Structure 1
């Protein structure tokens, strides 16, 4: 066999091995969601790839038969094709016997290197870049080979399935997508610029609804504006002007005895129609939806949907009112600054690059997001910034109390009847190199003092 014939055979074996390597990596890396989308768009080949992914035994058996056969033939042909030429070239420097041994090693390494690059690394990297597009192109030839080699494929597949059963391992791949998988994909899309950062934040907020409790976003009890059922019209009008909201609880004696709620739209219509704002003169009192304070925001949305309501009273295990929540509160959690709050007061106000003024009832998740803190200690023990301070201090905080965490100093600025109103979160200013300026100044001072020489 001449050198040109041997090289032609080697090229054909490399192409065959590359085909099987590409077929292997494409089927493994192809995403089912993308294949399903292609199948729904009318690509019948994508449906075939999906079926092969569900039962890939015969497919991978053919791949391994092809790869191993090519590897064996490549070694035989490559040794016979290149060894004589290497030996002839080496005989000028070493003995013929040593030349044969060295030629065998060089021929072996050359064939391995060529096959590794052109038959393995290159096709697999190509397949990882576009697995779905290549998988649908190769599914036809692979199905032909599966049919042509059916007896051999059946024998090896049955042997492999028997081994899986003996080891108690599943023979089919289970395709399960978790919320962590979706968040990872959206984060990768945001980093690649395919998904806007705000869209990524909205998706992440949706999955937070399962872990955030209703008490983290509700209006707390001491901030709820409620009406007494016997209050005169002048008082109602003054209260609405001073505290405009979308709905107001209506109580009998105190806030723990809720009779229902009045919608601001009903009151507005009566004012425009010249009708009196009085509950004993026709002002409609709606039945209030009552929900417990230990349910998640996802469950709140479901109860809103079932009751066809957008306002609810939140009670604790002792049937005491702890706050109220609206659909807008929940949507503000999902959409962030895309949905403005009903009132103008902001819970987190950035004063400068290194300090924030934060309301004590701000949800701790929002604090972590605003300050870019990964996590607080034992976050399941509290829900607000005030709860974090109480947890860390192990007592009710007083004015000027401070807590340090993750490079931030949280200082209590204002306390009203044991309730934390304002907290100042600050961090040391950073130099251009990212080092705190205080540390830089300290280092400079230490350096200057060390350079001084004592006077005589």
Structure 2
């Protein structure tokens, strides 16, 4: 009976060692960091252990191998007599001992596989952080108790790794792909909403997307000229109810400053004609280079009180204007897009109307397709078409890529205003 009790304790000890090994290895660093920030010293200990796990794994392997050897020695003595008694009820011949031993061995091996390996490791994979928190303290005690052996085997392991020019410790680098993959797993489990995943993906794209993908391009800028008539100013505000307008003297390349539409409204409410009064023109214009990323542009807006910036190229020519709202729409997307102004509109089951200024990342995500090639060469779907055609397109010019046909269906001057995206099979049929 004592042998059976010892066998049970060995299985239990082996289960704890196996569970500890998997739990510490599988515990998620991000979750442990949150727990450590909330005051959990054990979570901090696990993080430290993950950075230098050599001694821990050496202790685990010493323990598991010692238990396996002891299990083999005690197992036969513990079970064989009971197996022999059981078999004697049906057989008492000369092969009794030879039959009892393999059956005893099979039972002991099965018990260790099931209760000392499979079940504890499965539990450790299901809830690694909570189990790691529970076992970290006793496992550290065992490590201290086995210090001589741990130092010996860990030292030999490190020497072998160094001789092979391999790292002896893990360098934990959390990439944007790791974070997006984690959030994607949350989407599959239902704990994260699709729009939340989209926002996070868009945030990481802010460093890759340039300002030109979010700005209002030059040919779409609505501005006032100092010589404009009252009727022209009023009609412009009615047609384009913006908060701020550029004020120029003969064209965009002679920018004077900015004016708030409310200043003109005040003039009208006083019973006067709508006009651009020189004393209300703000000459403190906020300029941004077009080569900035969206993230850099957002940071630049933090240092200025203006809500609108004039975008210029390397020759100091105005190429567009951008507002904070334009930048926010870069990662908020459809969540802040007014109804009727969607950039991607589904026409039927296999075709979509896409605004030419739509970022290629949004198009790829909407169509569930792979990323566009050479993304550093352009930001928008219009830029993709021009890049592939290697010329300024005409109406009906098209590009076929990744099972879709991208056809130019509307031009405003030389700018691609709208693109018809069609599945290739449907287009050919």
Q: CA deviation at 1:226?
A: 1.3
Q: How has the CA–CA distance of structure 1 residues 199 and 270 changed in structure 2, closer, same or farther, with 3 Å as cutoff?
A: farther
> What is the DSSP-based 3-state SS (H/G/I as helix, E as strand, rest coil) of the residue aligned with 2:354?
strand
- Matched residues in 1 for 2:307 and 2:197: separation? 26
Q: How has the CA–CA distance of structure 1 residues 30 and 118 changed in structure 2, closer, same or farther, with 3 Å as cutoff?
A: same
The residue aligned with 2:187 is: 190
Give yes or no for the alignment of 1:332 onto 2:306: no
2:10 corresponds to which of 10, 13, 23:
13
Normalising by structure 2, we get a TM-score of 0.88
Q: CA deviation at 1:15?
A: 0.4
Q: How has the CA–CA distance of structure 1 residues 392 and 156 changed in structure 2, closer, same or farther, with 3 Å as cutoff?
A: closer
> What is the DSSP-based 3-state SS (H/G/I as helix, E as strand, rest coil) of the residue aligned with 1:237?
helix
Q: Deviations over 1:299-340 (max 9, x none)?
A: 111111123332111222232222111111111121112213
Give yes or no for the alignment of 1:206 onto 2:212: no
The residue aligned with 2:393 is: 397
Q: Deviations over 1:8-67 (max 9, x none)?
A: 322211101001111111211222332233333343333333333343333323222211
- Matched residues in 1 for 2:356 and 2:55: separation? 62
1:361 corresponds to which of 357, 361, 367:
357
Give yes or no for the alignment of 1:348 onto 2:340: no
The residue aligned with 1:236 is: 233
- Matched residues in 2 for 1:5 and 1:148: separation? 26
Please, which runs of 5 or more residues in structure 2 have no aligned partner? none
Q: How has the CA–CA distance of structure 1 residues 30 and 8 changed in structure 2, closer, same or farther, with 3 Å as cutoff?
A: same
Q: Deviations over 1:161-188 (max 9, x none)?
A: 4444444444433332111111111111
> What is the DSSP-based 3-state SS (H/G/I as helix, E as strand, rest coil) of the residue aligned with 1:421?
strand
Kept after mapping to 2: 8 A contact 1:355/1:425: yes
Which deviates the most, 53-62 or 316-325? 53-62
- Equivalent residue pairs, number: 428
The residue aligned with 1:453 is: none
Q: How has the CA–CA distance of structure 1 residues 265 and 75 changed in structure 2, closer, same or farther, with 3 Å as cutoff?
A: farther
The residue aligned with 2:378 is: 382
The residue aligned with 1:443 is: none
Q: CA deviation at 1:428?
A: 7.3
> What is the DSSP-based 3-state SS (H/G/I as helix, E as strand, rest coil) of the residue aligned with 1:336?
helix
Which deviates the most, 253-262 or 76-85? 76-85
The residue aligned with 2:422 is: 426
Kept after mapping to 2: 8 A contact 1:364/1:384: yes
Kept after mapping to 1: 8 A contact 2:329/2:337: yes
Q: CA deviation at 1:93?
A: 8.8
- Matched residues in 2 for 1:388 and 1:58: separation? 53
Give yes or no for the alignment of 1:412 onto 2:411: no
Q: How has the CA–CA distance of structure 1 residues 153 and 385 changed in structure 2, closer, same or farther, with 3 Å as cutoff?
A: closer
The residue aligned with 2:291 is: 294
Q: Which has the higher contact order (CA 8 A, sep 6+)?
A: 2
> What is the DSSP-based 3-state SS (H/G/I as helix, E as strand, rest coil) of the residue aligned with 1:282?
helix
- Matched residues in 2 for 1:437 and 1:213: separation? 32
> What is the DSSP-based 3-state SS (H/G/I as helix, E as strand, rest coil) of the residue aligned with 2:246?
strand
Give yes or no for the alignment of 1:258 onto 2:265: no
Q: How has the CA–CA distance of structure 1 residues 202 and 159 changed in structure 2, closer, same or farther, with 3 Å as cutoff?
A: same
Which deviates the most, 332-341 or 81-90? 81-90
